[in-house]
Amino acid sequence: MENLTLNDAPPPSSPQRQPNQSNAVLPGVPQQQGPPQLPPQMFTTAAQLLDLTDKKLLLVLRDGRKIFGILRSWDQFANLVLTDTRERYLVSIPAGTSPDAISATASKDAPSLSANTSLSTSTLPRNLYCDIPRGTYLVRGENVLLLGEVDLDKDDDPPPGYELGDVEEVFRLQHAIDLEKKRKDKIRARKVGQLWGGELEGSGEVLY
Amino acid sequence: MLFFSFFKTLTQQTVTVELKNDISIRGTLKSVDQYLNIKLDDIVVLDELKYPHLSSVKNIFIRGSVVRYVHLPPDKVDRGLLEDACRREAMAQKGKAA
């Protein structure tokens, strides 16, 4: 692969470029006040991902998963390898709902799960999060939503409005929410199917 | 390649990117590539309470395929120029095909 760095000097041809002849497709575009005429290798996937390599990142996937990890390798499709990953679960419990109520809807399949819930029937909304270590991930690019560089100063702060919850509890709640969502999506898909006389195009490409 | 070039002229501008999962993220456009993957700096999530997971994130890489809209500052968009460039590209395509 081409050996790119962001600090490379632009290729020998570009320094001679006239300052106002800035673009081949949009000629005559006035020079931006920002960095003058960035070298073309700035505008490649490789350059964009290169300065994220070996840094702690937040990866958000198309299915809504949030994964913190260190980016080790990638390619032009944004296929990624992350090591030392932790998956973050964030759950909101609306006011007036007990955690049992949420899991109760899903508990037909797993009644034993809700049995150990002895927590208060809270009336305040509660927001909980937890992290679960997941090891190494290789992610196919099409499933990537975004990659964020984690500000290490704020890394240890909990997300605003959220408190660290018990791993078991948060995981169980998330599972219950997922099941409920799946159930609703299924109903909706069936109704849409009836209306359209077939599955709606693009329904496989759902983003969370 | 027109929009790739177009976005390149908009680097350093503040833009709002709306994703297909309804998150809107405002930030400084740092870079764009041929797939219209976007890098934003100093980001703010518009509905932070609903999407709390980006609170510790300062700059992000967004995969082009998940972008729904990019909101641009209107005064930085030269529509005439864009129309011209579009026609010129269409002409070039036609010339190539013939």
Q: Is there a contact between A146 and A60 (Cβ–Cβ < 8 Å)?
A: yes
Cβ-nearest to B9 among A23, A64, A162: A23
| Interface contact B21-A160, CB threshold 8 A | no
- Token pair belonging to B63: 């995969």
C-alpha dihedral sign at A35, A37, A42, A45: positive
CB atoms within 10 A of CB B46: 12
CA of residue A110 relative to chain centroid, distance? 28
- The CATH number that applies at residue B81 is 2.30.30.100
Helix, strand or coil, per DSSP, at residue A124: coil
Confidence class for position A118, pLDDT limits 50, 70, 90: very low
| Total number of domains constituting chain B | 1
Among B2, B8, B17, B28, most A C-beta atoms within 10 A, so best to mutate, is B8
- List of domains in chain A: 37-194 (2.30.30.100)
Average pLDDT, chain B: 91
User: What pTM value is reported for the model?
Assistant: 0.75
- Tell me if chain B has a CB within 8 Å of the CB of A145: yes
What pLDDT score does A104 carry? 52
Edge-first strand order for the sheet with B57-62 is: A163-164, A126-139, A80-93, A66-74, A56-61, A144-150, B57-62, B38-45, B24-32, B14-19, B67-71
Residue pairs between chains A and B whose CB atoms are closer than 8 Å? 124
Please report the pLDDT score of residue A113 as a whole number: 44
Q: Can you give the residue range of the structural domain that contains B44?
A: 2-97
Instruction: Report the relative pairing of strands A126-139 and A144-150 from DSSP bridges.
Output: unpaired
Answer whether residue A142 shows pLDDT above 50. Answer: yes
With beta carbons less than 8 A apart as the criterion, state whether B19 and B79 touch.
no
pLDDT at B84: 93
Task: Name the phi and psi angles at A93, rounded to 5.
Answer: -110, 110
Residue A111: pLDDT band with limits 50, 70, 90: very low
Tokens of B42: 């100093």
> Phi/psi of residue B84, each to 5°?
-55, -50
